[in-house]
Amino acid sequence: MIRRDSIIDRGLPADRSAEVWVVGSVILRPAALDDLGFLSVDHFFGDDLRELYGAMVEARRRGAPIDEALLRRQFFGDDWAARIHEIVTAVPVASHVRRYAEIVRDLALRRRIIEICMTGAEAAQAGDGAPDEVLERVETELSTVRATKHEHEPVAIADAAVEAACRIDEIARRGSGSGLPTGLATFDDDQGGLFPGELTILAARPGNGKTSLALQVAEHNAARGRLVYFASLEMSAVELSTRLACAQSGVSNRLVRIGRLTGNDTAALAQAFNSQSQSNLEIHDRASLTVAGIRREIRKRKKRGLALAIVDYLQLIQPEDRKLPREQQVARMVRSLKEIAREYDVPVLCLCQLNRQVDGDETPRLHHLRESGSIEQDADVVLFLSRREPTEQEPHNAVLTVAKNRNGETGPLRLTWDGPRTRFSCFNHNPEFEAWSG
């Protein structure tokens, strides 16, 4: 077992020479700073070099020269010139500054990892929170370190054009877009499905069927061999399996609950459960999930080819910082889910509650999203699911409205809601074909 004092005794990882080489190279070639956007002032371990590098970065930002006056201010005293000479002459090859900077950054990240793990160990030792909470705090911090490691340099439009052209050629060859189908034929035709790297919000008032629709989308893909992760913070895996079996078999969920099943009903349900045993759907039914916990499960399944992640639902996710105002908590969770979608390049479908104001308004709107305006801001797509009384002119009994689409069109889609089977189909389409094909 490694003790904290033993790590400190051995010294934290740092390379004074590499830090000197970075600073000396910049003194010799100030323009080199333009290629070191990934290197932070905080990456330096030595206080003197950190301050000098910070002063040079600030001077470059303001368009001021890195000259004798700046260096004299940082190394005041009679020996300032000798110290600068020592730094400059220590540089092996100034043109290799980027490599020196990478060494400094990587060692700083190692120190950060040690700090995070030590803090987690101290929290575990002191009993500061439940073990799962401590673990998730550590994993969240480590995920931040991982994201810091990856550079995101500007991309020339010429390079982006080549990649975009290749992607379009692949779509034309395949004859379909890169989106994941939902099983609602009209939606898939009009919108292209759910896209990797995008966060889609499916919002509705309680009891309007958003879990049923999400489960339908999940099974549509899982039954075709695509791995689907379903984080259920409200319903157990057994409840979801039962609801799905009713949708697949045509047996009324009410009859299951009251136990009035015929022999045919039992046989149909058995066949549905057998179908589920071949499905690639994994349900995570835990009421106290955090975004860090969801990220961990998605990360593990990405290695196995995860195709879709579903979260049911946003307002039940446990906040990382309970001291923040509720709106800020929700904003952080939405932003983190968006980051997860981009980091792991999977579609994330997150269910969300609408506030009570929509009860008096037949058509949900973006301002009805509950608890945070950041939901509208950060989501790529916002869908509203609502039920309605059919009329002679409009005989459909449900509507799926695309209220926001960062990369496409908006508008309503007429649906048919089959209450006993807890499933949706597109109005005027063949429901048997639509719900389970594609």
Tens of pLDDT, residue by residue, the chain (438 residues)? 445 555 555 678 899 999 999 999 998 888 888 888 888 888 999 888 888 888 888 888 888 888 777 877 777 666 778 888 888 889 999 889 999 999 999 999 899 888 888 888 888 888 777 777 777 777 777 777 776 665 556 667 777 777 777 766 766 665 556 688 888 888 888 888 899 999 999 988 888 888 889 988 998 898 888 999 999 888 888 888 888 888 888 787 787 788 788 888 888 888 888 888 888 888 888 877 888 888 888 988 888 899 999 998 788 888 877 777 888 888 888 888 998 898 888 999 999 888 766 555 556 767 667 666 677 778 889 888 887 776 766 767 788 888 888 887 888 888 888 877 778 888 765 444 343 334
**Same CATH fold, 177-436 and 4-149?**
no
Burial-class residue 423 by CB neighbours within 10 Å (0-12, 13-18, 19+).
Answer: buried
Sole residue written with tokens 């209450």: 419
Q: Are 56 and 32 in contact (CB under 8 A)?
A: no
Q: How far is CA 322 from CA 135, 285, 316, 318, in A?
A: 16, 22, 13, 8
Q: How far is CA 189 from CA 222, 254, 402, 417, in A?
A: 20, 33, 14, 20
Separation of alpha carbons 292 and 138, rounded Å? 9
Residues 6+ positions from 172 with CB-CB distance below 8 Å: none
Report the sign of the C-alpha dihedral through residues 316, 321, 325, 331, in that order. Answer: negative
CATH number given to 177-436: 3.40.50.300
Residue 269: closest CA among 284, 247, 237: 247
Q: Pairing relation of β-strands 281-285 and 398-405?
A: unpaired
| Side chain identity at residue 334, one-letter code | V
Separation of alpha carbons 438 and 434, rounded Å? 8
Separation of alpha carbons 46 and 43, rounded Å? 9
Domain ranges for the chain: 4-149, 177-436
Q: How far is CA 340 from CA 140, 203, 334, 384, in A?
A: 12, 20, 10, 22
Give, in words, the CATH class of 4-149: mainly alpha
Q: Provide the strand spans (E) within 220-378.
A: 227-232, 281-285, 306-312, 348-353
102-141 burial: b if 16+ Cβ within 10 Å, else e: bebbebbbeebeeebbeebeebeeeeeeeeebbbbbbbbb
Calculate the dihedral angle through the C-alpha atoms of 121, 124, 125, 128, rounding to the nearest 10 degrees.
130
The helix-helix angle for 210-222 and 237-249 (nearest 10°) equals 80
Helix (H) or strand (E) holding 160: helix 157-174
